[in-house]
A and B are shown apart, each in its own frame.
Chain A
């Protein structure tokens, strides 16, 4: 009877999670939604502690205290720019927990006298595979995002696809072998190691610009891993909840891929990011045209006497930690009656929606943050498009140059503004490694230098305007 009631309590928790996610649909209710979801989690945990199978609470309490303390510390310490690493790492912990639960259950069920059904065995192996890929993949992704291992450039080597397929085959083969020889420790260990290496291989070949997709994908995996744990311990609440998170990750992965005009297979196996040759002639004719530069006082005049300024922030802005200066500049422009909008491309930043978080941190009102479809019609009436550290997402080559690796990618129509000011450190090409036509446009003027310093100079100049 208690078992049945517990099952219902898990269902209640799952329904609460669904409502929590539903409330995420609006900035006004999202915070409540997250809190609600946390209540659901609390219910699930409390109900679990009533489980008759639990004989001792010591280890659980120790684990919970240590985990909570680490969780609180991580959540407090993390900078908003480092959010992608943080989420990546948290994904990894979830996947790691699934991997460990699978291993613990396996060890329990291969003891003399215990019996492992085929279903449970398959669930355990699936949990090992997905959990293993999630934890090692997440750790590599987080290290890459942090810049601690070969930043940005994908690591590619001949035969990596064959190696991946080989590792996957090893996992399956060990599963089959364990079916005949249950309790073979070495086979189970080999399975775990193969899953872990597979995760590393999957992520290490993906370039910096594609990291947003990786984070979404790993998020999906961590959900699927939780669902697999549900199959292992036969808990429907876990299956539902894991499926919800899995679905969320799949949708975001899909959105990211569309925003880059790539298929998921292309992101995972294409190894794009090694393409260096841009338009048909490698950008030589563009470079021959040269760029025009602008002084800060001229730029300030363009901005200060305009009616509509659209800021196009890119990761360069985040790297320079310049979001606060952007907002300060916008404040001064507001005072002069200039309307300021922010054009946020879906892949701006290192994870979906990252740029919005960075701007929100700088107190930019969320009503001014516009997504691609919303903002694009506004560029034609904009006096200035102020491009700060963004590159590929404003490259008009995406529209017409069939030879370009970013051809077909939806872009922000910054080139349709009356004037374009591009703030950039140097003329280095973006992640995709291609020349940007926008920089050579006759309406475009470049403001070279560190984004933060340039913005501070702009603020001073705007304040001195009449």
Chain B
């Protein structure tokens, strides 16, 4: 294993722990928006997809890369928008008569 791989694994493991710490604090009330929001973040593969599509090393790679860009972009845009749609409902100002 090369040094690059080792560094990658170290970063991966430490980031997992950061993830555990941060996510544990999210209340069950918000678990659906959390899932879809985290899901949007996993669309970060757009980074790899764009590079592969842009390099166009082989014709096949360019095609696969472009489809990957489409997929990742659906993941990113759809994920953030739908999360926002849900969270907007949680933040709504309540009509006065609802106050107890």
- Measured in the bound complex, the distance between the Cα atoms of B85 and A17 in whole Å is 19
Let me know if A21 and B23 touch, CB within 8 A.
yes
Partner of A334, one of B72, B76, B100: B100
Q: C-beta contact mask, A47-68 vs B, less than 8 Å → 1, else 0?
A: 0110101111101101110111
Partner of A24, one of B26, B52, B73, B78: B26
Let me know if A216 and B35 touch, CB within 8 A.
yes
Partner of A365, one of B64, B78, B82, B98: B98
Let me know if A241 and B41 touch, CB within 8 A.
yes
Partner of B64, one of A17, A107, A232: A107
Let me know if A357 and B33 touch, CB within 8 A.
yes
- Measured in the bound complex, the distance between the Cα atoms of B3 and A430 in whole Å is 54
Q: Give min CB distance, A465 to chain B, whole Å.
A: 18
* A105 CB–B CB distance under 8 Å: yes
* A242 CB–B CB distance under 8 Å: yes
User: Chain B interface mostly helix, strand, loop or mixed?
Assistant: helix
Query: Whose C-beta in chain A lies nearest to the C-beta of B80?
Result: A38
Let me know if A59 and B62 touch, CB within 8 A.
yes
Q: What chain B residues lie within 8 Å of A219 (beta carbons)?
A: 35, 38-39, 42
Let me know if A71 and B73 touch, CB within 8 A.
yes
Q: Which of B13, B50, B97 gathers most chain A CB within 10 Å?
A: B50
Query: Whose C-beta in chain B lies nearest to the C-beta of A131?
Result: B45
* A176 CB–B CB distance under 8 Å: no
Let me know if B81 and A75 touch, CB within 8 A.
yes
Let me know if B30 and A107 touch, CB within 8 A.
no
Q: What chain B residues lie within 8 Å of A241 (beta carbons)?
A: 15, 41-42, 44
- Measured in the bound complex, the distance between the Cα atoms of B65 and A100 in whole Å is 7
Let me know if B8 and A360 touch, CB within 8 A.
no
Let me know if A87 and B36 touch, CB within 8 A.
yes
Q: Which of A306-323 contact B (CB under 8 A)?
A: none
Q: What chain A residues lie within 8 Å of B32 (beta carbons)?
A: 83, 87, 351-354, 356-357
Let me know if A74 and B90 touch, CB within 8 A.
no
Please judge, given known A-B contacts A18-B18, A34-B37, A86-B82, whether A100 and B56 are in contact too, CB under 8 Å: no
Q: Which of B1, B8, B20 gathers most chain A CB within 10 Å?
A: B8
Q: Give min CB distance, B40 to chain A, whole Å.
A: 7
Let me know if A331 and B23 touch, CB within 8 A.
no
Q: What chain A residues lie within 8 Å of B29 (beta carbons)?
A: 27, 344, 353, 356, 366, 369, 371
- Measured in the bound complex, the distance between the Cα atoms of B41 and A238 in whole Å is 10
* A104 CB–B CB distance under 8 Å: yes
- Measured in the bound complex, the distance between the Cα atoms of B89 and A223 in whole Å is 26
Q: What chain B residues lie within 8 Å of A255 (beta carbons)?
A: 28, 31
Partner of A49, one of B8, B50, B82: B50
B-binding segment of A246-254, A290-298, A448-456: A246-254
Let me know if A101 and B65 touch, CB within 8 A.
yes
Let me know if A100 and B58 touch, CB within 8 A.
no
Let me know if B91 and A28 touch, CB within 8 A.
yes
Partner of B49, one of A100, A230, A360: A100
Interface size class of A (residues with CB under 8 A): 35 or more
Let me know if A334 and B23 touch, CB within 8 A.
no
Let me know if A91 and B39 touch, CB within 8 A.
yes
Q: Give min CB distance, A33 to chain B, whole Å.
A: 8
Q: What chain A residues lie within 8 Å of B85 (beta carbons)?
A: 75
* A441 CB–B CB distance under 8 Å: no
Partner of A101, one of B34, B48, B81: B48
Let me know if B72 and A242 touch, CB within 8 A.
no
- Measured in the bound complex, the distance between the Cα atoms of B65 and A101 in whole Å is 6
Please judge, given known A-B contacts A225-B45, A229-B45, A360-B89, whether A252 and B5 are in contact too, CB under 8 Å: no
Please judge, given known A-B contacts A107-B58, A353-B31, A357-B86, whether A101 and B24 are in contact too, CB under 8 Å: no
Let me know if A30 and B90 touch, CB within 8 A.
yes
Q: Which of B68-100 contact A (CB under 8 A)?
A: 68-92, 94, 97-98, 100
Please judge, given known A-B contacts A34-B83, A56-B54, whether A231 and B5 are in contact too, CB under 8 Å: yes
- Measured in the bound complex, the distance between the Cα atoms of B41 and A237 in whole Å is 12
- Measured in the bound complex, the distance between the Cα atoms of B33 and A62 in whole Å is 29
Q: Which of A332-378 contact B (CB under 8 A)?
A: 334-335, 339, 344, 346, 351-354, 356-357, 360-361, 363, 365-366, 369, 371
Q: Name 25 interchain pairs, CB-CB below 8 A, sorted by A.
A: A48-B47, A55-B55, A63-B49, A63-B53, A66-B73, A67-B69, A75-B85, A86-B82, A87-B39, A91-B42, A93-B75, A94-B39, A94-B43, A100-B68, A101-B45, A101-B49, A225-B42, A237-B47, A239-B15, A240-B15, A243-B11, A243-B15, A247-B20, A335-B97, A356-B28
**What is the interface of chain A, defined by CB distance below 8 A to chain B?**
10, 14, 17-18, 20-22, 24-28, 30-31, 33-35, 37-38, 40-41, 44-45, 48-49, 51, 53-57, 59-60, 62-64, 66-68, 70-72, 74-76, 78, 80, 83, 86-87, 90-91, 93-94, 96-98, 100-101, 103-105, 107-108, 111, 117, 119, 215-216, 219, 222-223, 225-227, 229-252, 255, 331, 334-335, 339, 344, 346, 351-354, 356-357, 360-361, 363, 365-366, 369, 371
- A-B pairs with lowest CB-CB distance, top 7: A67-B73, A247-B19, A63-B69, A71-B77, A353-B31, A54-B54, A71-B78
